[in-house]
Amino acid sequence: MSIDRLCVIGVGLIGGSLALALKKAGYCKHVVGAGRNEQRLAHAVELGILDDYTLDYAQAVTGADVVFVAVPLGAMAEVFEKIEPVLSPQTLVTDAGSAKHSVVEDAMRVFGDKINQFIPGHPIAGTEKSGAEAAFDSLYQERRVILTPLEENAQSDVETIKSMWQAAGAIVDEMGDRHHDLVLAGTSHLPHMLAFALVDCLNSMEDVDEIFRFAAGGFRDFTRIASSDPTMWRDICLSNREAVLVMMERFQNEMAIVKTAIENNDANALYALFSQAKSARDEFCM
């Protein structure tokens, strides 16, 4: 199985890395990119990510076997609206959105009776860097990609998208869109909110220069993701609002327990909590 023509809408780290991985694997013959910035698209051609590009989304998807939409969540609906009129019955559309239920709702509203051609997906991979120049062909090696298939999807079409990701080196799982959103709210979205909030908190202190000057490796490791794209993470917060708020409340309750233990000078409670967390983390990272 292979793809003759792949259309990537949003040629940044995520979209560019998929194109590079599929090219390296010999899985894709031709990659066309689409976006708003011609200079960036031309640069992606220079980097070998794209074979050609266009600013016309409708032109880009014409004749494509698979369309990969890798734009911020807030731009998904607009992209869907631009490509829907020209989608041929043979073209499959998938996405990279970090929140799935909002994307599914947008797709159902826009695609209508073509919704069977849309297979929602989310590659759980990335770095704090963005743009086509940040793309690399091994980004998805041994990384997980979650598909959240719809009832309307043919199993053969789901397998096509699954095979594409496997060719890029990914491990593919499937789950419902709402369950995906809750899981990712805890494992990805909340950690990013904590990193952004911690840096902003320290940055507002009077002796901020001294604080950052003496920041050690732990601070740098924990806050690395606060260098991520603010537009993308703003959209994720709002698109997955319900699940993010649920996880934030759980975390606030946990911090209240830690705060109380410190206030009460309760060494046993702190040790028990830290030991339990260490064991869970060590097992996860084995």
Interval 213-240: pLDDT, tens: 877 788 888 899 999 889 889 999 999 9
**Does residue 73 carry a pLDDT above 90?**
yes
Residue 166: band (very low, low, confident or very high) from pLDDT cuts 50, 70, 90: very high
Same domain, 96 and 39: yes
**Does residue 14 carry a pLDDT above 70?**
yes
The CATH number assigned to the domain holding 201 equals 1.10.3660.10
Same domain, 104 and 63: yes
Same domain, 145 and 32: yes
Same domain, 167 and 66: yes
Same domain, 154 and 184: no
Residue 205: band (very low, low, confident or very high) from pLDDT cuts 50, 70, 90: confident
**Does residue 54 carry a pLDDT above 90?**
yes
> What pLDDT is stored for residue 3 in this prediction?
92
| Final residue belonging to a domain, choices 157, 175, 193 | 175
**Does residue 199 carry a pLDDT above 70?**
yes
Same domain, 144 and 274: no
The number of distinct structural domains making up the chain is 2
Task: Provide the residue range defining the domain that includes 148.
Answer: 3-175
**Does residue 63 carry a pLDDT above 80?**
yes
**Does residue 285 carry a pLDDT above 80?**
no
Tens-digit pLDDT profile for residues 97-136: 999 999 999 999 999 999 999 999 999 987 778 888 999 9
Phi then psi dihedrals of residue 94, to 5 deg = -140, 170
Q: Closest by alpha carbon to 66, among 132, 111, 118, 109? A: 118
Same domain, 31 and 163: yes
Predicted structure pTM score: 0.87
Q: What is the mean pLDDT of residues 64-81?
A: 96
Average pLDDT value over all residues in the chain: 94
Same domain, 31 and 70: yes
Same domain, 216 and 271: yes
Same domain, 128 and 216: no
> What pLDDT is stored for residue 286 in this prediction?
67
Same domain, 150 and 183: no
| Final residue belonging to a domain, choices 116, 150, 175 | 175
Tens-digit pLDDT profile for residues 245-268: 999 999 999 999 999 999 999 999
Same domain, 150 and 251: no
| Final residue belonging to a domain, choices 140, 175, 210 | 175
Q: What is the mean pLDDT of residues 193-198?
A: 95
Please give the C-alpha separations between residue 280 and each of 43, 85, 96, 283, 285, in angstroms, as whole numbers: 44, 49, 29, 5, 9
Q: What is the mean pLDDT of residues 84-99?
A: 96
Q: What percent of the chain has pLDDT over 90?
A: 85
The CATH number assigned to the domain holding 66 equals 3.40.50.720
> What pLDDT is stored for residue 126 in this prediction?
78
